[in-house]
Chain A
Amino acid sequence: MNDIWIIITASLVAANAAILGSFLIMRRMAMVGDAISHAVLPGIVIAYFLTNSRASFPMLMGAAASGMIVTTFIQFFNKKVKLQNDASIGISYTFLFAVGIILISFFGSNVDLDQECVLYGEIAYVPIDTLFIGELNIGPRQFWILLTTLIIIVSAVIMAYRKLVLTTFDEAFASAIGINVVFWQYYLMAGVSLTTVVSFESVGAVLVIAFIAGPPATAYLLTHSFKRMIYLSILIGIVCSIIGYYTAVWLNGSIAGAISSVIGLVFAIVFAVDLFKRRQVSRQVTQTSN
């Protein structure tokens, strides 16, 4: 039963990340996801320390606060003192992440968080931490949190689907017809923050990026319809979670690490096939034209 819970948890993370990742990679903002996932750390740690629990709401508040701070820093460097964009982002999120790690080391013994967990999560422990209604065990806490998040993300994306697609494809046109481009950008970023925060415990900061970038990039090579790209990347994410889990068991290693290795492998296969097919086609074209 534990296997199933772990796989389901990973699949939920994969689904959340796939939906948002599809938008992010088409907006060339995959690395913004990376920055957010690192920058939320100090907020999470402080919330964790203050409430001494893994309650999701305080953590979300903490993460939101860190998110606001990192945005302020980026704005400060980029707009106020005119530092180039990539460096502004780079400085700001590494700083916050470093502060987060230092806080963890300080609180060390008081808090049941460690440095490694922050990076690659503790998905193996997910089944142990269960919720009860009265006497009834209704399954892992993480499962319920991630399921709720998935429902929120799915309904938010369905409600705003057209605006999100339009602002992703053609920002100038969207803004000419009166769509508030900046608002929808923040809307999406809010979703990304939510997803990274709730995925933190299970897969950690770096590996959530594997879920955000990997399956959507793979699906992008396979289809020409954006909707199908989303469905396909959810599917790829789930398949990778299953294979990844058993790989981890086989190698006796980190589950999250194994899943992202599998994500990389699946991408590599699809990429190679795609490249091969395109080479075939172009060869045929040159042959016929000769």
Chain B
Amino acid sequence: MTFIREIISFFTFSEPNVKVVFLGSLILCAISGLVGTFTFLRKRSLIGDVISHAVLPGIALAFIIGHQKNVLYLIIGATITGWISTYLVEYITRHSKIKSDTAIALILSVFFGIGVLLLTHIQHTGAGSQSGLDQFIFGRASAMNQSDIVLFGSVGIVILVLTLIFFRGFSILSFDEGYANAIGFPIAWLKLILSIITVITVAMGVQAVGVVLMSALLITPAAAARFWTNKIHILAILAVLFASISGIIGSAVSYTYNGMPTGPWIVVIVSLLAFLSAIIGSKTGILKSWNLRRRNNVKILKENTIKLFYALNSEQPDNSGFQFSEIAENARMENTTLRSGLKLLRKEGWLIGNDRQGYQTTEEGKREARAIVRKHRLWELYISKYMHLQPDHVHDDAEGIEHVITPEIERELEEQLDFPKLDPHNSEIPY
């Protein structure tokens, strides 16, 4: 019960410090989500990983030089070593045969190692035993105080303004660097500004999530947002939203459960948001592709069933109703499948009748039957003409493709083939 009471106390801001923690996590996560949009789109998640590990020695050095935990110094120190790390990765790959993944792994782990060495040195020498520096490894939002928030807030606003000013530039840079260069965007400057913003964001963000999991706070919100939209500004807004939600929940948990670091919770929650988005997201989510597949199967079944009637009708044009057994005779599908196909067509209004009276096509059904046969035969003709395939090789291909031909493609085929009368098997193409 205490746990719930604590949660309630968190969200009602009954203690003044809660407001600080809440605001702090919100600002840091929101900014990370925003800047991370570009890290994600530029496929730089590994670079994000390097920077976030490499801020640790900067933090430790700032402490050694400043003799106390001053957040401004720490951010400056973190920014410097974070910046150096990205520079080194680029320098090593450009000036030796070492490939970028090796350079990244090396710089990441060595910088982190130096950071750990300095940190343990500080802790063991007494002066820093109470420094609370270890909170930077996994983050502890509850350690923030009022003046930190002022600092985060002001830097956050600067980053926000810069991102808004350069939003178009960053977007083009992320989608197509070559193009941006060709149309005369100042690529070098844009890249510089973006990387400075990124490093500063990481340097601040580690206060909430810690260095080890910071890269997730850059990448995962944008990845989750990607499942919902193709538009970059909506992507950025959603990323900020997802990151903020996780930041709030993560810091609430860390606040209420003593000794629990913030970072892992934020990351777990934002990852769950990403999983959820992957499943129900509207653009490329699993649900959509299931839906698509189901619709495809329905379309294929409908078209294959109505196609049967084209043959039946042309053999016996004035038949008042085909028996199920007659239809099934030429159908290359299971009887149960055929039955559900017939049911679909009846619902669609392409067919009337039932098993006792026999089935008959309506006018609309006849039109649809002609349409699918037309597409089939046009495609057969197209591939036999342009791919020099023998007439006996084109049928299988057309069996599949006929269902995907849109009216637009159909018109193209007709024009390219000059409105043909006969298919490669000399059957008539019905219009």
- Residue numbers of A with Cβ under 8 A of B are 25, 28-31, 33-34, 76-77, 80-84, 86-87, 89-91, 94-95, 97-99, 101-102, 105, 108, 115-116, 119-120, 206-207, 209-210, 212-214, 216-217, 220-221, 247-248, 251-254, 256-261, 263-264, 267, 271, 274-275
Contact = CB atoms under 8 A, between A and B. Distances in A.
B16 interface: no
Contacts of A80: 278, 286, 289
Contacts of A86: 43-46
A159 B85 CA distance: 39
A82 B284 CA distance: 7
B172 interface: no
Contacts of A274: 96
B285 A28 contact: no
Contacts of A105: 257, 259-261, 264
Nearest to B226: A83
B121 A252 contact: yes
A278 to B, nearest CB: 9
B83 to A, nearest CB: 17
Given A94-B267, A95-B216, A260 B113 contact: yes
B212 A97 contact: yes
B359 interface: no
Contacts of A256: 113, 116
A90 B52 CA distance: 13
B261 A207 contact: no
A30 B102 CA distance: 5
B117 interface: yes
B49 interface: yes
A76 B278 contact: yes
Contacts of B40: 87
Contacts of A116: 134, 137
Nearest to A204: B116
A7 B378 CA distance: 76
Nearest to A103: B264
Nearest to A247: B117
A29 B267 contact: no
Contacts of B259: 105, 108
Contacts of B289: 80-81
A115 B110 contact: no
A119 B212 contact: yes
Interface in B361-384: none
Nearest to A218: B106
Contacts of B118: 253, 257
B264 A84 contact: no
Interface in B97-139: 97-99, 101-106, 108-121, 124-125, 134, 137-138
A257 B271 contact: no
A99 B261 CA distance: 12
6 contacts: A31-B101, A94-B267, A95-B271, A260-B114, A271-B96, A275-B96
A267 B113 contact: no
Contacts of A101: 138, 261, 263-264
Given A91-B271, A105-B260, A248-B117, A98 B112 contact: no
A82 B263 CA distance: 27
A83 B223 contact: yes
B95 interface: yes
Given A206-B212, A254-B116, A31 B104 contact: yes
A220 B268 contact: no
Interface-centre pick from A25, A98, A119 (highest chain B CB count, 10 A): A98
B113 A210 contact: yes
